[in-house]
């Protein structure tokens, strides 16, 4: 395995992110897999993903030429672009956290799980974000226990839990320094 962590720079890498995303959407995985492996909630278009990357490059894990993991970077300029994330940004207005970048979604290919890639993606994101940003903020579906456990294991701390669109979300933060 020839694993590297870098930022997304090509259209092909963005297309591979979308392919990996499609395979791991909540609607594409079984209930058993959701519980054991987790899932992703948001579906991005290539246009939005490209514009997000231009504003703040996404972090990717590559095995050779293949994207096997990603952590999407999202500035608050995109808060109105993805409807399911609007409530998160509204919630963030009520907390006292300044100077943050939002991690819009993280995913590791099934073939590369349990190899430390999740931790590696966040490590690379912290390095890429500091000192410009003091924290990385994200939210996790409260029923996604696999993802929550992984986030807390790398150092995220709970800000709050809130309800939106008929489900509970945990808003969490990771210091970059």
Average pLDDT over residues 72-88: 88
CA dihedral for 173, 60, 16, 39, sign (positive or negative): negative
**1 with 111: CB under 8 angstroms?**
no
> pLDDT tens digit string along 92-137?
888 888 889 999 899 999 999 999 999 999 999 999 999 999 999 9
Token pair recorded at residue 117: 């890639």
Q: Can you give the residue range of the structural domain that contains 170?
A: 3-175
> DSSP states of 92-150 as a string?
HTTS---SEEEEEEEEE-GGGTTSSHHHHHHHHHHHHHTTT-SEEEEEEETT-HHHHHH
Looking at 11-15, 38-42, 50-54, 70-74, which range is the least confident one? Answer: 38-42
- pTM score, whole prediction: 0.92
Element (H, E) at 72: strand 66-74
Considering the chain, what percentage of its residues have pLDDT values greater than 70? 100
pLDDT confidence of residue 108: 96
Q: What CATH number should be reported for the domain holding residue 171?
A: 3.40.630.30
Find all residues with CB under 8 Å of 128, minimum gap 6, and list them.
7, 57, 59, 73
pLDDT confidence of residue 26: 87
Token pair recorded at residue 56: 């703040």
Q: For the chain, how many structural domains are there in total?
A: 1
- Nearest by Cα to 59 from 125, 133, 132: 125
* Residue 173 pLDDT > 90: yes
pLDDT confidence of residue 151: 96
Q: Give residue 146's pLDDT band: very low, low, confident or very high (50, 70, 90).
A: confident
């Amino acid at each position: 395995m020839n694993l590297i962590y870098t930022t997304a720079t090509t259209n092909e890498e963005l297309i591979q992110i979308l392919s990996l995303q499609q395979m791991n959407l909540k609607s594409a995985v079984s209930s058993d897999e959701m519980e054991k492996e987790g899932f992703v909630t948001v579906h991005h278009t290539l246009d939005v993903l490209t514009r997000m990357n231009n504003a703040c490059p996404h972090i990717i894990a590559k095995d050779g030429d293949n994207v096997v993991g990603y952590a999407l970077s999202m500035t608050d300029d995109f808060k109105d672009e993805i409807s399911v994330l609007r409530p998160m940004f509204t919630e963030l207005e009520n907390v006292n956290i300044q100077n943050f970048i939002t991690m819009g979604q993280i995913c590791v290919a099934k073939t590369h799980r349990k190899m430390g890639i999740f931790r590696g993606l966040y490590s690379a994101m912290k390095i890429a974000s500091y000192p410009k940003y003091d924290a990385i903020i994200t939210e996790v579906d409260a029923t996604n226990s696999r993802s929550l456990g992984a986030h807390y294991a790398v150092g995220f701390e709970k800000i709050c839990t809130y309800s939106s669109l008929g489900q509970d979300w945990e808003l969490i933060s990771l210091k970059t320094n």
